[in-house]
Amino acid sequence: MRKKILFPAAGAATTLAALAVAASLTGCVNYSGHTERTLTREVSAAGVTAIHLSFPVGEVTVVAADQPQVGLEVEIRCTHGHRCAEVARDVALEVSGQNPLRVALTGWPHSNSRGMKVRATVRVPRNTPLTAELGVGRMTVSGMGADLSAHLGVGDVDATLPEASVASVRLASGVGFASLRTSHGAQEGSRGLLSRSISWHEGTGKADVRIDCGVGHAKVVLR
């Protein structure tokens, strides 16, 4: 069971403080500086029953399309610090397995990143279930026609999905906002202490969408 990020119910002041932390952390994911390394992989999706992405920090864009492979491009940039290039050499893109196919960025420093930032683009088959995890940053998902489970510690998740493929959407934000827009209108998450959540089960498709953010915004648009 995934551990949830819990925050004390200290009212509006606590909420604003937590959101300020989120803005501070996600705002620092900028892409000035220079590209130190670019990691690329392309692997066949034949026999793959599910995909599991895991990134510690950065801006992750997932694009689903009718294609028979998984394509990965990870740009590592150095914004400052003379040791950034040295630290960047330890980062690796690991891909393994089929059930699920696991994609992970390893070697990221546990404390000081030395000004190192990540921007990743992941291209996946439209109808293969996806689980995506990101520690801090921003995640954008488009085109998924299968089950989607996205988890973000601090930051924002934006998903634009084909409405005809979706059966249900469940959104949760520990501190922040949750919003869903369908062809029938828009709704914001109901409030519970500091959290926001949405549970929608009116779709005609088969895919289940679940997105949770510890601190930040969870947003889904169905078209």
CA distance 139 to 182: 20
| Contact yes or no for 120/72 (Cβ under 8 A) | yes
CA distance 126 to 102: 17
- Check residue 172 and give its pLDDT: 94
DSSP 8-state assignment for residue 4: P
Q: What percent of the chain has pLDDT over 70?
A: 83
- Check residue 200 and give its pLDDT: 96
Contact residues for 94 (Cβ-Cβ < 8 A; gap 6+) = 102, 103, 104, 105, 106
- Check residue 223 and give its pLDDT: 95
Q: How would you classify the pairing of strands 34-44 and 69-78? A: antiparallel
- Check residue 82 and give its pLDDT: 74
List the chain residues with pLDDT less than 50.
1-30
- Check residue 34 and give its pLDDT: 86
- Check residue 191 and give its pLDDT: 61
- Check residue 192 and give its pLDDT: 53
Q: Tell me the whole-structure pTM to 2 decimals.
A: 0.84
| Longest pairwise C-alpha distance within the chain | 54
- Check residue 33 and give its pLDDT: 66
Would you list the domain boundaries of the chain?
31-49+65-128, 129-223
